[in-house]
Amino acid sequence: MYKLLGKRFIDLFLALLILVCLCPILIVAIICLLIQNKGKAFFIQERPGKNLKLFSIYKLKTMNDDKDSNGLLFPDNLRISSTGKLIRKFSIDELPQLFNVIKGEMSLIGPRPLLPQYIPLYNEFQLRRHEVLPGITGWSQVNGRNTIEWVQKFEFDVWYVDNLSFTLDLKIIFLTIKKVLKSEGVNSSNIITMEPFKGN
């Protein structure tokens, strides 16, 4: 019952509640990023969701588009400002994904939606992460986030698919709040974002 109806009801209720409560913080962050990024406050990118159906994910744009003399983007740590770091530290950049939750493209809890180009690189086991809606946070996020290896991340994702329950989702929510407040697991060793997945 929870998987079919309860999870969706809780997603809608909490997504709307969080948006209402954190709307002032979101508005301030958007204004700051509009100034910082020359009028660009949002990052929109296509991601695969449940059953590999593509959708547009919404995030706040915490890195600028500065490029070197060859037209290549500078490394992540050179493109993020102090404002962007603060927004990422408290996961404020993830708040626009609440609109993805309201639209039914994502859930609050589930495997994080990754890049479409990774799909051909997954093995049969790893593809199972797409049997449920992707989430804003998930089991792998509260067990290391960007600090764990891809193989382990996928193992956590599939474990969640097999063990999805109200109790587990509740545990993940509380662990996520704890990690956000402590800023745990936000970055890998020396880059802002996770290293690209290159296959098994």
39-91 pLDDT tens trace:
889 999 999 999 999 999 999 998 877 777 777 878 777 788 788 888 988 88
For the record, the structure tokens of 124 come out as: 């049969």
What average pLDDT does the segment 171-196 reach? 73
> What is the phi-psi region of residue 5: left when phi exceeds 0, alpha when psi lies from -120 to 50, beta otherwise?
alpha
What average pLDDT does the segment 95-110 reach? 97
In this prediction, residue 82 carries a pLDDT of: 81
Q: Are 84 and 163 in contact (CB under 8 A)?
A: no
In this prediction, residue 189 carries a pLDDT of: 38
CA dist 169 and 141 (Å) reads 12
The model carries a pTM of: 0.88
156-181 pLDDT tens trace:
999 999 999 999 999 999 999 988 88
In this prediction, residue 185 carries a pLDDT of: 55
Residue 36 pLDDT class (50, 70, 90 cuts): confident
Handedness of CA 8, 174, 41, 113 (dihedral sign): negative
Q: Are 136 and 145 in contact (CB under 8 A)?
A: no
In total, the chain counts a number of residues equal to 200
SS3 151: helix
108-150 pLDDT tens trace:
999 999 999 999 999 999 999 999 999 999 999 999 877 789 9
